[in-house]
Structure 1
Amino acid sequence: MKSSNQTRIGVLLLNLGGPERLADVRPFLYNLFSDPEIIRLPWRPMQKPLAWLISTFRAKKSRAGYQKIGGGSPLRKLTEEQAQALAENLKQRGHDVKVYVGMRYWHPFNSEAVEQILSDGINRLIVLPLYPQFSISTTGSSTKDLYRILQTKGGARHLRRSYITRWFDHPLYIQALAEMIREEMAKFPDEDPSRIHLLYSAHSVPQSYIEEGDPYLKHTQKTVELVNEALGNRSPWTLAFQSKVGPVRWLEPSTEEALHRLAKEGARQVLAIPISFVSEHIETLYEIDIEYSEIAEEAGVPYFRRAPALNSHPTFIQALTELVAQKLDQNPHYYS
């Protein structure tokens, strides 16, 4: 580790992670289901045996999905591109900052990112989970994991840390979503917004989380409200939830249920919006683009499209830049 009195600033982007090869799918799933924030069991010693069982059972189907989107998840590449764009934006604003990527369930793991951060002599760290809407299962799990890792380093007491954990209503994030939606709406045969149904599809969480106080649903609803306002409230819309796992009750309606309802109501143009995903992953590239597209066609929706995930959209990167810059500007004494 470098030693110096000079302040070295880092930004750590946290995300889920994803298997980059088909051989990675089962161990990725094992890591995912080993997380007690994903599957809560009354007896913790059962967590890993159950994770092994679920990951083994689901691996074949999951591998087939990844095969259809190119053989692996693009999440690492896209997140690293976001990190590079963020670093460039911050540099243009006069902030000499290194941006790192840490993943919860696959490489580069949070532990790998921390090793690099400490090796680089970073002593001021801003942690930015790439989950706009807070949930204990996403932002909560990632930040807990980071805290645990830092505790194994003696707490890394020299490393001053700030966290940005809730940005579901940031104006530039909302603007970026609205810009992406407008671009996609223009591709329908009838561009009249009142004739395009906006289907906001968010990652689901168990209903019990919400009942216990998790703000994810309220945050997601507020994001949708603000995006609709930015679009002029001219389109009919639905908020639905995807990617349910297991038998417990999850948030409703499911995206599949919503599509069937819209078809019955006569919707002819439906635009799916991955409202809680800031990067393309299997949930967008396979679930929405392939599975839900087929469901829409079979249900009788003639025109079904999806707005892209934000990825490195310039306005979105500007939103991340503003979030980080605000933290930096609040603490000018950290600079040398």
Structure 2
Amino acid sequence: MFVVTGTGTETALEAKKLQANVYVAMRYWYPFTEEAVHQWIKHTPPPKYLQVRMEDSYLSRLPVSIIKSWYQRQGYINSMANLIEKELQSFAKPKEVMIFFSAHGVPITYVEDAGDPYRDQMEECISLIMQELKARGIGNNHTVAYQSRVGPVQWLKPYTEEVLVELGQKVVKNMLAVPVSCVSERIETLEETDMEYKELALESGIENWGRVPALGCTSSFISDLADAVIEALPKILPKIQPKRACRDIP
């Protein structure tokens, strides 16, 4: 799915009059970041006069723009709100549905000791989505929890499985799950949410369960990704003029 998202972004960039090659890289699965860099080098090799051993130096001097986050972009917020609004209509009584944001968790030490802004950004993201829904006249109650914890260490709380049981005991009957931190379908959505959490919710007293699909290649989302790329491009690219190595002339 990420590869398809990359292809979609490249197509969206072309539609916005920007010719660019898009490469997909991941930290823990294929294609790994190193593979994506090598693929880029293969398609965009350094000047021929640069020796192979100078390749790293050449890459280190290329201009780079980094999109640090995009959870707060209006295009992304609108895309999420569109999906939620659509899925609410599948319930007999849309206004009575609890919107349940389930975000992927991380060990709490990442946030409290290492200073990772993930929790603050996730909560701000959810707040922005709910503000957009409210502007559309959708005032449903909502809550947030964190899923996918593994191992003995403490992760971000509250935990999804505990909140589901608690809400079921509080006589919440209609629930719409939103995998807010997953932009593509994966094991956390297809198995953990659709199977394990749904079963737990129904066992806990929740009668009607729904789930918002991941954004995937939603056109408004892909278009906004392309806009983010265009906005992040440096306006003036410095010229790279590596010095040639001097050599004696026989």
Give me the TM-score of the superposition, normalised by structure 2: 0.86
Q: Which has the larger radius of gyration?
A: 2
Q: Which has the higher contact order (CA 8 A, sep 6+)?
A: 2
Give 3-state SS (helix, strand or coil) of 1:198's partner. strand
The CA distance in 1 between the partners of 2:105 and 2:24, in whole Å, is 24
Matched, 1:260 2:165: yes
Matched with 1:301 is 206
Matched with 1:109 is 32
Give 3-state SS (helix, strand or coil) of 1:270's partner. strand
The CA distance in 2 between the partners of 1:178 and 1:267, in whole Å, is 22
Quick check: 1:122–1:159 contact (8 Å CA) kept in 2? no
The CA distance in 2 between the partners of 1:294 and 1:157, in whole Å, is 50
**CA drift at 1:157:** 2.9
Amino acid corresponding to residue 326 of structure 1 in structure 2: E
What is the number of equivalent residue pairs in this alignment?
Answer: 228
Matched, 1:331 2:235: yes
Match of 2:73 among 145, 151, 170: 170
Match of 1:199 among 90, 100, 109: 100
Q: Any unmatched runs of 5+ in structure 2?
A: 47-53, 240-250
Q: Any unmatched runs of 5+ in structure 1?
A: 1-77, 124-150
The CA distance in 1 between the partners of 2:122 and 2:32, in whole Å, is 27
Match of 2:223 among 318, 321, 330: 318
The CA distance in 1 between the partners of 2:33 and 2:232, in whole Å, is 21
Give 3-state SS (helix, strand or coil) of 1:227's partner. helix
**CA drift at 1:158:** 4.7
Give me the TM-score of the superposition, normalised by structure 1: 0.65
Give 3-state SS (helix, strand or coil) of 1:83's partner. helix
The CA distance in 1 between the partners of 2:11 and 2:2, in whole Å, is 14
Matched with 1:83 is 6
The CA distance in 2 between the partners of 1:297 and 1:187, in whole Å, is 17
Give 3-state SS (helix, strand or coil) of 2:181's partner. coil
Question: Bigger CA drift: 82-91 or 154-163?
Answer: 154-163
- Superposition misfits of 4+ residues, deviation over 6 angstroms: none
Quick check: 2:183–2:216 contact (8 Å CA) kept in 1? yes
Amino acid corresponding to residue 230 of structure 2 in structure 1: A
Matched with 1:54 is none
**CA drift at 1:122:** 6.7
The CA distance in 1 between the partners of 2:58 and 2:102, in whole Å, is 38
The CA distance in 1 between the partners of 2:42 and 2:31, in whole Å, is 15
The Cα RMSD (Å) is: 1.9
The CA distance in 2 between the partners of 1:238 and 1:264, in whole Å, is 15
Identity of aligned residues (%): 36
**CA drift at 1:331:** 1.7
Quick check: 2:63–2:237 contact (8 Å CA) kept in 1? no
Give 3-state SS (helix, strand or coil) of 2:177's partner. strand
